A and B are shown apart, each in its own frame.
Chain A
Amino acid sequence: MEPILRVENLVKRYAKRNFVGAPKEFLALDSVSFTLSAGTTLAIAGESGSGKSTLASCIACLEPPTSGNLWFEGNNLATATENDLCKIRPQIQLIFPDPASSLNPRWTILDIIAEPLVVQGKLSRNERMTRAFSLLERVGLSAEIAQRPAAELSGGQRQRLAIARALTLEPKILVLDEALSALDCSVQAQIANLLLELQSSLGMTFLFITHDLTMAAHMADEIAVMSHGKIVEHGPSAKILKTPASEATRQLLAAVPQLSPAPYPAAQR
């Protein structure tokens, strides 16, 4: 499979000034490299503070990296001009843990989905509406609620709406930053299914950023484990989970809560 995104030696430093003395530097990303194949899912797992969210915002072009290269379709996002970034950003969409704060609660659901299209200004009003309704259906929201304000949605519906809005611009990569973590278990399963279905039908590429190894194992083809700004282990999901090589991975695995130590007894289902 050809790589759609190639990250090379990505470094992100934050200045962190203290009370006295010279400003200290905080290394959020320490020479991170990986490639992402088109149509697959790479999970980035790690504890809080390991740098996974910084990585997400660098890849989504929300923050410029301090150094390193971000190759996406022949463009280096790390050195691209703001003008170029405006053209690239629609192709890499970011989904947040709980989109409540990124959705204007008074707008109707239809307006929220159609907004990116209005901004782009390529389609007529009718075309926009057709597209918005087909996206609603695509993510499993009924057309009846299209005119309701976003404030009335439940957590799962909000996440569906956020996905629909991200899809309006036909992105190639979805960066899912803890997109399932804030949801109830039964809703998590619904959204996970939706994402898997979108991937197989549209051939989308996912960067699945999470601290939940169980979900990472379920969703991803490959897993990269981060710790202190570095990728300490990267490989096919099955291998990482079966024979973890690094201490950070073992710690994460040990902390995963499990419904039952043994596989769930099938007879009692």
Chain B
Amino acid sequence: MMRFLLRRLSHALLLVFGVSILAFLFTTLAPGNYFDEMRLNPQIAPETLAALRAQYQLDRPLPLRYASWLNSVLRGQMGFSFAYNSPVAPLLLVRAKNTVLLTITATFLAWIIALPLGVWSAERLGRFPDRVISGSTAVLLVIPDLALALGLLVFAVRTGWFPTGGMASVDFASLSPLQKIRDLAIHMMLPVAALVLSALPLLVRHVRAAVAEVLHAPFLLAAEGHGIPRGTLLVRYVLPAAANPLLSLFGFSIGALLSGSLLIEVVMSWPGLGPFLLEAILARDIYIVIGGVLFSTIFLAAGNFLADMLLYWLDPRIRTESASR
């Protein structure tokens, strides 16, 4: 157990480290930097610019800059934002919390809906309910996330039932704790709905395929032949057997929902990482961009790590395999 856990953990750390190097390379090698716009301004002397660049170490060679950035990561700062004139980490954390809230809620909801729908559909493979589900997931699948989000926004504006942006009402501070939760929930509804709807078709289809495969497995027929009741059969026999592909999909779905979330946040002005990163990219505020990428990677790696742990716990074959490797 410990060995498997440690190996997976080291894989995750290696991934984060690799991504940090790549992110650093790509953002610094991209043409232009934060001070390019100032250079066009005749009122700022070239000497001032050079001093600024020196202050932010933009004139030093790449490996040295990476080393000093790593150092600041270890100190919990993750570099320095030119635009905000402050360390990146605290800026990022505030927004990341909102993104994580959105992503986790959406992941959770999407799975809660996809699991029974997929099982139900698989049990009626080829019959009318299955066709309805397959048809509607196919339709959902071809609608781009952006169109989905815009459609929902239009719907919210027309009906006036949901707030169309932000994550809190103006009078949020004066509300009681219960009302605060209610207010947050109402604000989350639209972005979460957009995310869930975008992830749902893929999840339902995979659950359906995985369960349908198990439903025709000989061991399930054998269990039915031994008189195991239908409910037990579905919950205690089918789902554990289908867990392997589904847990891998779970890890993947976290990543997909996170990247979906960044887009939806921009469209629905949710104060998360999405708009923040976009702004930073446009301004070439590179350390924020790197920090955002790094954070997403960590979140993704954590999700996959969680999926691996669940798989290890549920599938004895993986346990033996990892022990004999």
Contact = CB atoms under 8 A, between A and B. Distances in A.
Q: Do A and B touch each other in the complex, judged by CB within 8 A?
A: yes
Nearest to A15: B324
Interface in B276-325: 323-325
A19 B316 CA distance: 13
B104 to A, nearest CB: 35
A122 interface: no
Contacts of A19: 323
Interface residues of B, number: 3
A67 to B, nearest CB: 23
B123 to A, nearest CB: 28
Interface residues of A, number: 4
B2 to A, nearest CB: 10
Contacts of A16: 324
A237 to B, nearest CB: 38
A102 interface: no
Contacts of A18: 323-324
A21 to B, nearest CB: 11
Contacts of B325: 17
Q: Would you call the interface of chain A mostly helix, strand, loop, or mixed? A: loop
Contacts of A17: 323-325
A174 B45 CA distance: 85
Nearest to B323: A19
Q: Is the interface of B mostly helix, strand, loop or mixed?
A: helix
A18 B325 CA distance: 8
Interface in A19-67: 19
A17 B323 CA distance: 7
A19 B320 CA distance: 8
Nearest to B1: A19
Nearest to B324: A17
Nearest to A16: B324
A176 B325 CA distance: 31
A231 to B, nearest CB: 28
Q: Which of A17, A18, A19 has the most CB of B within 10 A?
A: A19
A28 to B, nearest CB: 15
B317 to A, nearest CB: 14
Contacts of B324: 16-18
A16 B323 CA distance: 10
A149 B98 CA distance: 57
B269 to A, nearest CB: 52
A18 B323 CA distance: 6
A116 B325 CA distance: 36
B36 to A, nearest CB: 56
Contacts of B323: 17-19
A19 B322 CA distance: 8
A16 B325 CA distance: 8
Interface string A1-19: 0000000000000001111
A86 B324 CA distance: 32
Nearest to A17: B324
Nearest to A24: B324
A17 B324 CA distance: 5
B99 to A, nearest CB: 40
Interface in A146-179: none
B300 to A, nearest CB: 30
Nearest to B320: A19
A17 B325 CA distance: 6
Interface in B192-242: none
B256 to A, nearest CB: 33
A214 to B, nearest CB: 29
B133 to A, nearest CB: 29
A145 B325 CA distance: 46
A182 to B, nearest CB: 17
Nearest to B322: A19
A18 B324 CA distance: 5
A19 B2 CA distance: 11
B88 to A, nearest CB: 43
Interface in A86-118: none
B61 to A, nearest CB: 45
A121 B314 CA distance: 50
B55 to A, nearest CB: 55
Nearest to B3: A19
A3 B30 CA distance: 70
A230 B141 CA distance: 59
A238 to B, nearest CB: 42
A22 to B, nearest CB: 13
B224 to A, nearest CB: 26
A16 B321 CA distance: 11
Interface of B: 323-325
Interface of A: 16-19
7 contacts: A16-B324, A17-B323, A17-B324, A17-B325, A18-B323, A18-B324, A19-B323
Which 7 residue pairs spanning A and B have beta carbons closest together?
A19-B323, A17-B324, A16-B324, A17-B325, A18-B323, A18-B324, A17-B323
